[in-house]
Amino acid sequence: MKTIAVSFPCTREQQNRLVMAAEGHAKVQFTADMDKVQEQECMRNANIIIGEPDLALIRQNDVLEWVQMTWAGTDKYTIKSSDYGFPKHVQLTNMSGAFGIIMSEYAIGAILALYRHFPTYWQQQKNAIWMDAGAEDSLYGKMVLLLGTGDIGSNLAKRLKAFGTTNIGIRRDITKIPDGFDEICGFEQLDELLTRADIVACSLPNKPQTRNLLTKERLLKMKKEAVLLNMGRGGLMDTNVLADVLETGHLKGVVLDVSSPEPLPKEHPLWKCDRVMITPHIAGPSIGHCPATQDRIVDACCENVKRYFLGEALLHKIEDKEFEYIRE
């Protein structure tokens, strides 16, 4: 019988679901309550790991067959580094599809907070100041450019529609228009679309073709009163360049849940810019934050565990082409 190591803390009910999914095929061990030595020993001997163990620990495991991540981003294993690569004989699956709802709520909340001056009013409240913060804005009638039309972008587009926005998505395959989008365009149209967008919402993954996609020239192409939101990966733009653009008075506001480097250095000027909202990579909280999201993660893990032992194709499998290096 095989062994599954689950590295994140689960409720008793979630543990039972995972045990049932593997019943008759594998023993499920939950490492969250183990001490460090026990946990690492369990990880080194598991056939399947659900979680995000360090790459060094994965390479110490000679019987490992599959790693099921609880994150959507696979940078930890797929981005080229000085370390050895992810073992070729080990399958890797991520949690794509579990975070669209919670992240779209984050995006809408952040945009509305900027439009309605909530950060200003929160600061005024601390000092018992009753003062109008000035002209506000509305989502109604805005053109939203979504860089990323997968689970996150699609969920955001569908929810924005209730506010009366026009949603244009950018992606390589323009043959299909997902629900919530008015139009889908290719990356070759990015420069022109940036000049028209009232809001640019980014949920792109970290890949060579997306790094520094939003250059200084492109940021300056955006409307002076546009709002920029990045909840994908920090490498999409240079934060120093962004600070320079904001210093000129360009852009109404910026929402950053990610940055490069991450965390943003304490001395970075973006921390003190009153048109910037910074959150610590929590737009798509994984384990231990939103119970509903954690339930979706456990559901997806259970589904893939069942598929694995039935010999069916795993959901959200990361293919070799998605690694920045040739896997060994």
Give the catalytic positions in this structure. Answer: 233, 281
Q: Contact at 8 Å (CB) between 152 and 106?
A: no
Nearest to 95 by CA among 322, 299, 318, 316: 316
CA dist 187 → 68, 153, 168, 271 (Å): 31, 15, 12, 31
Amino acid at position 160, single letter: L
| Distance separating alpha carbons of residues 90 and 150, to the nearest angstrom | 25
Segments in the chain forming alpha helices (H): 12-21, 36-45, 55-59, 75-78, 100-115, 118-126, 151-161, 190-194, 216-221, 239-247, 291-310
Q: Are 284 and 61 in contact (CB under 8 A)?
A: no
Closest CA to 45 of 29, 33, 34: 29
User: Rounded to the nearest 5°, which phi and psi values hold at 278?
Assistant: -120, 130
DSSP per residue over 94-150, as a string? --TTSSHHHHHHHHHHHHHHHHTTHHHHHHHHHTT----------STT-EEEEE--S
2: which 2 tokens? 């095989």
